[in-house]
Structure 1
Amino acid sequence: MDFKKFLPWIIVAVIIIAGYSWASGIYNKAVTLEQDIKESWGNVNTAYQRRNDLIPNIVSTVKGYAEHEKSTLTAVIEARAKATAVTIDPTKVTPEQLAAFNSAQSGVSSSLSKLLVSVEQYPNLKADASFMRLQDELASTENQILTARTRFNESVKPYNNNINTFPRNILAGMYGLSQKPYFEAVAGSEKAPEVKF
């Protein structure tokens, strides 16, 4: 048997197999990293959901003490409704969608901050054990949100690096893979809030 006759076919087969392995490896790595992003996004949503679940309890507790703070309580409830209406598919997230989500969630944060500032006017409420527990849970939840958002950004970075480096970017474009946006600070958040009593 003359192997020289089959050598070109063997070389072509090896090149095709190596090329296929390389291309599928790039795609499979992108899929794995995208799953990490989905998981991180789920954690972000879970943290925000925990905050949304706490809001009715806080509102009803404050309502008992501060009946004339209706506009503040209403603002918190409306902000929560707007925030829960914004949903995102993490596989198709765009910078605009993430900005809208971030804006809705910052509306909740802002209205909650105003509510907690108004609580300072009610010493009995500040001393109420259930309110103090809710306030501690809310502070803990805000820390969980920060952690979840940070971890989301940490999972986006390797994905973006994977699909944007050469020559992977060529195959990523052929596969239809696009860069994922990062969570960014809400506009104006670099200024410390002014708290007045």
Structure 2
Amino acid sequence: MYILIGISALLLIIGIVMYNNLISKRNNVEFAFSSIDVMLKKRHDLIPNLVASVKQYMTHERGLLTEITALRNEVMKPELSDSERFRAEGQLSSMLGKVQVAVENYPDLKANTNFLQLQAAMNEVEEQLSAARRAFNASVNGYNNSVEMFPTNILAGMMNLRRRDSFEIAEAERGNVNIDNLFNS
């Protein structure tokens, strides 16, 4: 009789520990995602200033600036799913990188103090965003391992916890950089 009570208590304790572990990992993923959101908000706040300061100099890149503004508006839509937001943010990052390259063709812009301060702020936000994405992916990896591995996968199934997508770069950014194109643009 005491053995049966002891085994039941042990199974209950193991179940509680597994449950708490799953909840903790889910909360870590949500916290890491909110950290990305904070960095994205900072970046979205800087984009109008960047576009405004660059617009007067970069007459040939109006289409690029218009695309950046449109993408900024798209990623701020609350109805976007995580994967749609990640895709749009990847495109926005790519466009902002193109602005950084295009700036090289405008010496007056490179000498503008306001632009240089804005560019430094943007670079800092991008570094923080990159760190937040790495933390998010690490949290997602730990969560996914717990959700998919035995025996916690049984409890995760009962709790309706599903695998989460990690942040990935766009397919276009995975290829090798063509140096000739950079020097010829």
Which band: TM-score by shorter chain?
Answer: 0.7 to 0.9
Q: Distance in 2 between matches of 1:102 and 1:56?
A: 20
Q: Deviations over 1:74-130 (max 9, x none)?
A: 111101111112567xxxxxxxx4432221012212222333333333211110011
Equivalent residues of 1:47, 1:141 under 8 A apart: yes
Aligned to 2:156: 172
Amino acid at match of 1:164: E
Could you list the runs of 5+ residues in structure 2 that have no partner in the other structure? none
Q: Distance in 1 between matches of 2:61 and 2:163?
A: 45
Per the TM alignment, residue 176 of structure 1 is displaced from its structure 2 partner at its CA by 1.6
Answering whether residue 16 of structure 2 is matched by residue 24 of structure 1, we say yes
Q: What is the aligned-residue RMSD (CA, Å)?
A: 2.0
Alignment of 1:65-144 (within 5 A): 65-67=57-59, 69-85=61-77, 97-144=81-128
Q: Distance in 1 between matches of 2:98 and 2:172?
A: 16
Per the TM alignment, residue 28 of structure 1 is displaced from its structure 2 partner at its CA by 0.8
Aligned to 1:46: 38
Amino acid at match of 1:53: D
Q: Distance in 1 between matches of 2:97 and 2:109?
A: 16
Q: Distance in 2 between matches of 1:107 and 1:61?
A: 21
SS at match of 1:120: helix
Bigger radius of gyration: 1
Aligned to 1:93: none
Could you list the runs of 5+ residues in structure 1 that have no partner in the other structure? 1-7, 89-96
Equivalent residues of 1:51, 1:141 under 8 A apart: yes
Q: Percent identity?
A: 31
The count of corresponding residues between Structure 1 and Structure 2 is 181
What TM-score results when the alignment is normalised by the length of structure 2? 0.86
What TM-score results when the alignment is normalised by the length of structure 1? 0.82
Single out whichever of 107-116 and 71-80 deviates more from structure 2.
107-116
Aligned to 1:147: 131
